[in-house]
Amino acid sequence: MTVTESDWKIFKKIHAAALERFSQQILQESRAICDNESLSGHERYIRLYKHIKKRDKEIARAFNDYRRSTAKICLKHMVNMDLVTDEEFSQLSSELQAFLRFEM
């Protein structure tokens, strides 16, 4: 299940960009929770805690196992989370693109 050398090089770039995109998304969502004045401070804290806990699991699934042997699965998660642009996706080999398009 290991990716080719050329796909690995592209994966490393996609990984960094997608992690940044997802982190920014989480921060925006967190700001919205914190800025929700219709909730008490404690309610906002609880929602923020639950939100971060949930998102941390998603980050772990897609980004924490940074190895060539797991790159396909990590990319699959990133694609399913809409974190890979069409331009980035098109740089991958046709074989890897087919794998990523396949519904499990």
Cβ atoms 78, 62 nearer than 8 A:
yes
84 CB neighbour count, 10 Å cutoff: 20
pLDDT in the model for residue 44: 98
Cβ atoms 45, 72 nearer than 8 A:
no
pLDDT band at 103 (very low <50, low <70, confident <90, very high): low
Q: Coil, helix or strand for 37?
A: coil
Which string of b and e fits 15-37 if b means at least 16 CB within 10 Å? beebbebbeeebeeebeebeeee
pTM for the full model? 0.89
Higher model confidence: residue 104 or residue 39?
Answer: 39
Domain boundaries, the chain: 5-101
- The model's pLDDT over 8-26, given as tens digits with 9 standing for 90+, comes to 999 999 999 999 999 999 9
For the record, the structure tokens of 49 come out as 């805690």
- The model's pLDDT over 33-66, given as tens digits with 9 standing for 90+, comes to 999 999 999 999 999 999 999 999 999 999 998 8
Cβ atoms 11, 75 nearer than 8 A:
yes
